[in-house]
A and B are shown apart, each in its own frame.
Chain A
Amino acid sequence: MFAHHRRITSLYILGTFGVVFLVAGLLLLTSSPATAQEEQDPSFHPAFILRDAEGVNVLESGAPASTIRTCGECHDTAFIASHSSHADAGFSAAVAAGDVAGGRTWETSDGLYGGWNPITYSVASPDDWIQSYGARHVGGGPVADQVEMNCFLCHTAAPNNQARIGALADADYAWASSATLIGTGIVEQSGQTWRWLPEAFNEDGSVREDLILVQDPSDQNCGQCHGLVHSDAQTPLAAAVGDETQWNTLTTGQIFSPQRMSNSGLNLADKTTLARSFDVHAERVVNCVDCHYALNNPVFETEAPITRPEHLNFDPRRMDFGDYLYRPLHEFANTDAETTTNFGSSERTCVNCHDAGSTHTWLPYTERHINALACETCHVPELYGPAVESVDWTALLPDGQPVVTYRGVVQDNGNTLLTGFTPVLLPAGMEDDNKLTPYNLVSAWYWVYGEPGRPVTIDDLREVWLDGSTYAPEIVTAFDANGDGALDTSELALDSDTKVTLIAERLAASGLENPRITGEVQPYAIHHDVTQGEWATRECHTCHGEDSRVNAPIVLSSYVPGGAEPTVIGSDGVMSGTFARRDDGSLYYQPMSSAPPVNLYVLGHDAVGWIDLLGMLLFLGVFAGVIIHGGLRYLAARRAVVHQPAAVRQVYMYSIYERQWHWLQTVAIFGLLFTGLVIHRPNQFSMFDFRGVVLIHNALALLLVINAALSLFYHLVSGEIRQYLPRPYGFFDQMIVQAKYYLGGIFRSEAHPFDKTPERKLNPLQQLTYFGILNVLLPLQVITGALLWGAQRLPGLTEQLGGLPFLAPFHTLIAWLFASFIVMHVYLTTTGHTPMANIKAMMLGWDQVEEHVGSEPSIGEEGMAT
C-alpha cells in the first residue's frame, strides 16, 4: 500500500532555504557527468541497431560504434556532418594566417579550428588539435578522419561527456562516441578494453530502448560545452570559477537556469533580495533549441513578408517532418556562426518573438529607446556568474598557469563572494542600425615572438619562469619586492623595464626571436541572463544623468604588463571608445556614446559645455545689465527734482484675449524653461521624477504651440499683427531715438519718445525684439523641440537635420536666449510711467497713458471712464 507517495529529499529543503555552497577554488574538470533526468517522456525514436564503421552490429564485431553509420541508416548523416558549424568549427572558412578580419596574426579562422584564444592559450598544431580542443568539439569537420561527429553527445538524455573527453585524451578516438554511452549499461570500459554488454541488446540485435533515449537536445546537452545550465528550479545550482567547458559562463558570466538566484547555491552578495531567476526564458520553459532551432525545422518556419504573396496569410507548402528528419540542417538560429545557408542569416532577435512596443507604453520615447538600445541593454542589467576580466600570460604562477582575474568576484579568507558585474555597452548590429548591447571585455597580455608574431608556447614560458615547481632564482631576485624570497601574485607584475627586459632576454636565450609583450581586448556579447519587470533597468536616472550607464567605463585589468596598449580582437561590437589608465595603474575602457558610430545624445547626460557657458554668460550679463540700469534709474529718480507728474488718461490697451494669451504663454514658457532645466541637469534636480518631467515638458510644449497658433490666428484676423511689423519708414531713426531714451532720457525722467497706444503698443526696439523672438527664436525652438520629440517617429528627418547631437544643444542654446529675453522683457515692463504700470495694464487691460501735446485721442480711449 501507499505506493504512490512522494518523498521529500534533503536537497529540496536545501533549495527552499537557500543554503550557500562554497564555490571557490573547485577544480571543475572533476565535475560529474550530467545526471539523467528521472522522468522522461516516452521516446518516439524507434529501436535501432548500433553499428560499427563497417555497418556491422557492434555486438557481433566488438568494434566501436559509429554514429555516422548507426544514425545514417535513417538520417542523412553525411549531409548533417557537412552542414554543421558545430563540426566544421571554422575549418572550411579558413584563410591564410593573419587574414582573419579583426583576428590575430597567427589565426586562420575565427572558429575553434584555426582560431586562438588567450583563455585556453593552446597553440595547437593540427596533429594535437583534438587533444587541445576536442573536449569542446563534437567531432567531424576538420578531424572527421579521426573523430566522427558524435550524435550521442547532443541527442541522448544522459551522455557521458567525461568519458568521451577521457577517450579523446587517451587518443582512443574511434571509441569516443561509444564512450559517451558509458553508464547506460550498453558498453563498459576497463583499461584499454571495451565491451558491449549483451544484456543491453534485444533479440533482434537492436539496443534496448529503456537504456538509450534519443531526443532533441535538452538544455543539459547544450550546457556540456556552452555554459552553466541548470534546469531544476528547486535543487540549488552551484558554479565553479574558471571552467573552460562552460565557455559562455566563463567569458560573460551568463548562467541559464530557471532558478531564483535567492534559491541558488551561489554565495551571492545580497542574495536574499535576488528573487529573480537567472534567466527569464529558462524560467518560462523556453529551452535552448526554442531559439537556437535548426533552420529548416518546419515548426519554426515563418515566411518573410517580402516573398509572401499579398493574398496569402499562410503558405501550407512546407517541408514535411519526414524530409526534415532525414536532413535536419545542423545550422542553428541565433548563433555567431556566419554560415550562409539557404535560409539566409541565422539571426533572429528578441523582437522576432516579442512585441516590445506593447509592453513599453510607460516609457517616454519608446521607439527612440528601442532604436538606440538592444533589448538586452535594459533586460540584462547585471551578470552574476564569475566572468574572466583579464588573463596575464606574461608572468606565470608556480603551477605554470597565468594570473587570471574575474569580474564580480571578491575573495575573502578563502571564501568567494559573487557580487555581480554590470556589462559594458558597445554598439552592435547592422552598419546603419547600431544598438548599444551589453558585452564583457576580456583583456589578455602574452608574449609573442617572430615576424609575423605568434604566441610563445606554454612550455617555453615555463622554461623561462620556472625551475620545476619553483621560480628560477634570477626571477625571484628581480620580482621579489618585499624580499621574502617568495613571489606572491601582486609581485608577479611586469611593471618595469628591467623586469620586462629580463624575461625578454631569457625568452630570447631560449631561441625565440624578438620576444615582446602584446595586449588585446576581446568583446563577448551577452544575450542570456535576461530578466523582466522590476528587475530590468527602468529607472531613468540610470542613463539620464552624469553617471550614465550608457558611458559607464569598465575596468580591463589592474595593471598593464609591459605598458602594452591592447588591440581589439573581433569584428563583433565596435569599440569606438578609448582606453585609459587610472592613477592606480589600472586600465579601463571608456565608451563614447556621443561619437560615431553610436552618435547618441542622452538627455541629462550629454551637454555641450560651451553652449551652457555661453548661455549662462548671456543670461547673467542681461541680468547684470538690468540691475545696473535699474539701479541708475533708481538713483536718478531720487536725485531728480520732483515735478508735476504728467497728466495721464486711462486707455483700454489689451483686450481680454490678448491678456489671456499672454499669461498662458507666460506660464507655459516658465514651465518649459524649468522642466527643460531639470531634463538637462537631472543630477541637480534629483528630487523630480525624470519621466514625469519629460511628459510635462512635452505637454507644455504642445500647449505653447496651440496657444501660439491661436494667437497668430487672432492677430492675423484682427489685424493686430500690425503691432509687430515695424514700419520701414524712419524705423532706424526711431530706434535710435528709443535707444537714446533708454540710455539717457529715462534717467532724467523725460517723457517716452513714443506714446503707447492701443494701435501702437510697442516701441521700435520692442518691435525689433519681438520680431526676432516670434519669427526666429520661437519657431526655431518649436522646430528643434518637435524634431527632438520626432526623433522616434521620423528618425530619418531628424538625422538629416543634424541628428540629436546637433539639435539638442541647439535647443538648449535657444532656451538660454529665451531665459535671457524674459529677464529683459520683465525689466522693460517697469519702464512705464510707474514701474508697475505696464504689468497692471497686462493684467487689467487698462493702461494709464501720459498726456502729451499733440498726441491724438485713440479709439480705445474712454473719456467717460476717467
Chain B
Amino acid sequence: MRSFRYIWVLGLVGTLLLVAGVIILALTPNNAATASAWDSLPTHPVHTDHTELMPGPYEDGPAVTRACLACHEDAAHEVAQTVHWTWQSPPVEVAWSEEPVSIGKANTLNNFCIGVQSNWQGCTRCHAGYGWNNADFDFSNTDNVDCLVCHDQSGGYVKAGAGLPAEGVDLAAAAQSVGVPTRVNCGSCHFNGGGGNGVKHGDLDESLYFPSENLDVHMGRADFLCTDCHRTENHSVAGRSISVSVDNANQVYCTDCHEPATLHEDERITAHLDSVACQTCHIPTAARRDPTKMEWDWSQAGDPNREEDPHEYLRIKGSFVYEENFTPEYAWYNGTGQHYLMGDEIDPDGVTSLAHPLGSMDDPGSLIFPFKIHLANQPYDTVYNILLQPQTVGETGYWTTFDWDSALRNGSLAAGLPYSGNYGFAETSMYWPITHMVQPADYALQCTDCHSDNGRMDWQALGYYGDPMEWGGRRR
C-alpha cells in the first residue's frame, strides 16, 4: 500500500482541475478577445547617438551624405528608388489611358503652383536631394541624396533653392543629431505643400506639430510619428495620394491596425463598413485648426494696386479662398485616381478635373470617402485647348516679370508643351483625400449627420435613389 500513499495528491489535483474547469467554462465570455490595435504599432528602439560618429565639419550637403554612406552603404541607393527622390512613379497600367502612366511631381500639373518644370529652383527645396535646378539633374548621383531633411533632429536644418542647405546651416550639428524621422521632418515639406502652412491638403498642417487629441487622436493622444502608420522599409515610405499617384500600391489603411469586423459594437455601424470608409465618419470636418486653400484664381494675379493678404490676394498668385473646419465633399473611391496628363485636351467652358478618385456605387471595392476639392482658374492655351505650364520662379518667371506670355512660353518649352501664344484661364478641380486629423470616437459623425433632411450626403449624386436608410443601399 505504500505505493498508494500519495494517491491523495492525484485526487486533489483531479478535483481542483475539475472545479477550475467548471468555473472557467462559466466565466468564459461569449465573444473571443479581440486583438488590440496597439499590437500593430512599430516600436522605436533608442536611436544611436551620432555625436561622435559625425565629427564634421562638412563643406556641403553631399559631404554629409558621403559620411552617412560610409556606414549606411545602401541608404542612398534605397532612397534613390523612391518617389521622394524621383518625383515620378514607375509606369502603371490604368484603364483610362492607353499608355502606361508614369507621373509624379516631376511631370504633372496641379492647380496650385501648377508645375515643377522650369520652376525647379523653387519647387525642389522640398526635394530629398541637392541641386535639382534644371532638367538635367543627375538622378544617378546618389551623393546628392539629402539624408538630413528627414533625419535631422537639431531643428536647425533648413533647405533653400534647389534643395541646397540654407545659408548658415550648421551641417555638423545637424549630422550629429540624426534620428528617426519625426512629424517635424515630414511636416517641413508635407505640411507646407503649395507654398505655405496647410495650403494643399486640408488634413495636414503645422497644427499637427503639437496637436490636441481632439485634433488628431493618433498624433494628439498617442503622439504618433508619421512613420507609425506610413511604414517604412529600406527608406520606402508607405502611402499614396491621388494628387500625385494613380494606383493604390503600398497604401496605408486604417485596417492595417484596426480590425473592422469587431471594432464597432453596433451592427448598424458595422454594416456601414461595406460602403463607407473609416475616414468619412471619423473625420467629420477638415482643416480644423489652420485654414486651407479651397479656391485659387490665377487670372486675378498681377494687379499692383490690389491690397495684399496672404489668405485673400497676392499680386504674384492671384486671389484665394481659404476655409477652416469645413465639411468635406464625399465621393466613391476605390483607392485609385485619374489624373490630368500634360497635353490632354480640355473643355475650356467646363471644369477640368486634374485629379479625382475612381469608383462608383456599382463597384463593390469602392467606399464613400471624404475629399477636399480645390478649385482653380489657371492658364491654358486657347488655340490648343491644353493646360499650360507657366514659369513662375526666377528672373524670367511670372513672379518677377508679371508677364503671362513669356512665363507661359518659358514654362511650356521646359515642359515640352506646345504654346500658341494665346492663353486664357480655365477652371480646374482637384480632389485631395481627407485621411489625417482623425478625431476621437466620441466626435465621429452621428446618424443624423447624413440620414436626415439636412444631412451632409448628396445621395442622388452618389448614385442612390435617396437616403439608403429608407431606400436601401447597395445590398438591397
A positions within 8 Å CB-CB of B: 1-2, 5-8, 12-13, 16, 37-41, 231-234, 258, 260, 262, 275, 277, 282-285, 361-362, 533, 650, 656, 659-660, 663-664, 667-668, 671, 692, 695-696, 698-700, 702-703, 843-846, 862, 865
Contacts and interface: CB of A to CB of B under 8 A. Distances in A.
B71 interface: no
Given A692-B27, A843-B8, A16 B285 contact: yes
A564 to B, nearest CB: 47
Nearest to B16: A667
Given A2-B295, A39-B454, A843-B11, A703 B447 contact: no
Given A275-B442, A283-B448, A844-B4, 5 more contacts: A8-B325, A12-B325, A284-B268, A700-B22, A845-B7
A93 B16 CA distance: 70
Central interface residue in B7, B447, B449, by most chain A CB within 10 Å: B447
A459 B56 CA distance: 96
A1 B377 CA distance: 9
B7 A8 contact: no
B30 interface: yes
A8 B327 CA distance: 8
A362 B265 CA distance: 14
B294 interface: yes
B448 A362 contact: no
Q: Which 3 A/B pairs are nearest by Cβ-Cβ distance?
A: A699-B26, A275-B442, A843-B8
B1 A664 contact: no
Interface string B180-191: 000000000000
A846 B25 CA distance: 35
Contacts of B377: 1
A264 to B, nearest CB: 13
Contact of A700 (B23, B327, B447): B23
A283 B268 CA distance: 13
Interface in B418-470: 427, 442-443, 446-449, 451-454, 469
25 contacts: A1-B375, A2-B295, A5-B321, A8-B324, A8-B326, A16-B285, A16-B288, A231-B448, A260-B446, A283-B446, A283-B447, A656-B11, A659-B11, A660-B15, A663-B11, A663-B15, A695-B26, A696-B23, A699-B22, A699-B23, A702-B22, A843-B11, A844-B4, A844-B7, A845-B7
Interface string B253-282: 000000000000110100000000000000
Contact of A703 (B12, B14, B18, B427): B18
B405 interface: no
B29 interface: yes
A664 B15 CA distance: 6
A862 to B, nearest CB: 8
B5 interface: yes
A8 B442 contact: no
Nearest to A215: B453
B53 interface: no
B5 A844 contact: yes
B170 interface: no
A702 B326 CA distance: 61
B325 A16 contact: yes
B223 interface: no
Contacts of B427: 1
A733 to B, nearest CB: 37
Interface residues of B, number: 46
A181 B265 CA distance: 45
A660 B285 CA distance: 67
A799 B427 CA distance: 79
A689 to B, nearest CB: 9
Contact of B29 (A16, A362, A663): A362
Interface of B: 1, 4-5, 7-8, 11-12, 14-16, 18-19, 22-23, 25-27, 29-30, 265-266, 268, 285, 288, 294-295, 321, 323-327, 375, 377, 427, 442-443, 446-449, 451-454, 469
Contacts of B326: 6, 8
A260 B4 contact: no
A702 B25 CA distance: 12
Contact of B19 (A233, A703, A865): A703
Contacts of A865: 1
B27 A695 contact: yes
B138 to A, nearest CB: 43
B143 to A, nearest CB: 47
Contacts of A659: 8, 11
Contacts of B294: 5
A38 B455 CA distance: 11
A516 B202 CA distance: 71
A405 B285 CA distance: 41
A2 B23 contact: no
Contacts of A260: 442, 446
Given A8-B327, A16-B285, A865-B1, A234 B26 contact: no
A268 to B, nearest CB: 15
B23 A233 contact: no
Contacts of B449: 233-234
Contact of B27 (A258, A667, A696): A696
Contacts of A695: 26-27
Contact of B30 (A262, A285, A361): A361
A667 B13 CA distance: 12
Contact of A2 (B25, B288, B375, B452): B375
B25 A699 contact: yes
B23 A664 contact: no
B448 A671 contact: no
B295 A233 contact: no
A698 B448 CA distance: 44
A698 B26 contact: yes
A233 B26 contact: no
A285 B469 contact: yes
A278 to B, nearest CB: 11
A285 B451 contact: yes
Given A2-B295, A667-B19, A232 B447 contact: no
Nearest to A700: B22
Given A13-B325, A663-B11, A285 B453 contact: no
A699 B24 CA distance: 10
A700 B24 CA distance: 11
Contacts of B4: 844-845
Central interface residue in B4, B5, B377, B446, by most chain A CB within 10 Å: B446
Given A283-B447, A663-B15, A37 B7 contact: no
Given A692-B27, A703-B22, A40 B453 contact: yes
A277 B266 CA distance: 15
Nearest to A866: B1
Contacts of B295: 2, 5
A656 B15 CA distance: 13
A275 B452 CA distance: 21
A700 B15 CA distance: 12
A6 B453 contact: no
A699 to B, nearest CB: 4
Nearest to B288: A16
A659 B451 CA distance: 67
Contacts of A233: 446, 448-449
A611 B469 CA distance: 58
Contacts of B451: 285
B428 to A, nearest CB: 11
Nearest to B14: A660
Contacts of B453: 37, 39-41
A668 B22 CA distance: 10
A693 to B, nearest CB: 10
A834 to B, nearest CB: 17
A337 B314 CA distance: 68
B422 to A, nearest CB: 21
A846 B447 CA distance: 73
A260 B442 CA distance: 8
A668 B427 CA distance: 81
A690 B356 CA distance: 56
A599 B371 CA distance: 59
B16 A262 contact: no
